[in-house]
Amino acid sequence: MALLGLSTVAVSASVCPTGPRWRVDSGTSRIPSSGCRKTVRCKAVGDNRQGSLAETIVYEGIYGPWTIDDSDVREVILYRTGLVTAASSFVVAASAAFLPDNSLLKQNLDLFYVLGSGGLGLSLLLIHIYVSEIKRALQALWGLGVLGSATTYFALAQPANNNLIQYVLHNPSAVWLVGPLFAALTGLVFKEGLCYGKLEAGLLTFVIPILLLGHLDPHDSYIVVLHIFCLQVALVKQTTGLMDDGVKLTLLASWMTLFVVFAGRKFTQPIKDDIGDKSVFMFNSLRDNERKALLEKLQQQKTQN
């Protein structure tokens, strides 16, 4: 029972991956189950410190040893590429706040909105979170935000001869339609800050709502948790919020800088960090009877040791 309780906690919490326990030249790493084996092909890709494809690092997980294969590396690279796309699109779009009103950039903000939304969606599709319900919730928020953005654009903005950014700027109630997209972004940033102790992610968690609070009227401040791209870009155009334009510009510039640092530093992390403890995901993929058999086997091994 003690082992089962520990396993439940491990599946439900964010567990930082452990370091390598040993190295092997070839072979496979297996997690035993009832009547079958889950096999991971050993390949030294991504975390190979010696640069030799013949060498593989084996990590010891909660439910057994695991290794990194080519598909893991591809997923992590695409996940990080999505973040870079989202951050780059935001920075370019937010730069419009510092340019003249008739700039060419401000006429094409919706394009960057679409690119940034797509990059975020890719990252949420590939993000590794032990609790699958949380991952699905973030993906659902993203989907609701995309649907709300499309509805706002086609049903409200176009008939008013506005682009999406302009419409939400002049109609703050549209925040409720596009907001879930950025609630998903908030969840992703929070996860990164919590799991890896990233200062820039932690600061983003506070800078974003503070900036939006300064933009909104005091009686609307309760919606600051909805991070709206178009509001971020256009904050300096408003004078009815709690902050003056100078403070808003400073916070917006801070946001841009932190987002770039956040996305860029993802490529300085080992591949295994974004994978997490792969044995947990393999355990979650097992049937109930296989999980029970595995837990019993682990308990026996613990007793023998």
| pLDDT above 50: residue 223 | no
| DSSP per-residue string spanning 84-138 | HHHHHHHHHHHGGGGS-TT-TGGGGHHHHHHHHHHHHHHHHHH---SSHHHHHHH
pLDDT of amino acid 42: 34
| pLDDT above 70: residue 227 | no
Each residue of 169-183: pLDDT tens digit? 777 777 778 878 878
If you average pLDDT over residues 210-225, what whole number do you get?
50
* DSSP for residue 159: T
Q: Which residue has the tokens 């109609």?
A: 171
Each residue of 107-128: pLDDT tens digit? 788 999 999 999 999 999 999 9
**Residue type (1 letter), 138:** L
pLDDT of amino acid 175: 74
Each residue of 63-106: pLDDT tens digit? 988 999 999 999 999 999 999 999 999 898 888 878 777 667 77
- Tell me what the pLDDT averaged over the chain comes to: 74
| pLDDT above 80: residue 152 | yes
If you average pLDDT over residues 127-134, what whole number do you get?
93
If you average pLDDT over residues 247-260, what whole number do you get?
84
Measured between alpha carbons, how far is 226 from 178 in angstroms, rounded to an integer?
Answer: 8
37-41 vs 20-24, strand pairing mode: unpaired
**Residue type (1 letter), 91:** V
* DSSP for residue 219: G
CB 165 within 8 A of CB 233: yes
| Helix (H) or strand (E) run with residue 230 in it | helix 229-234
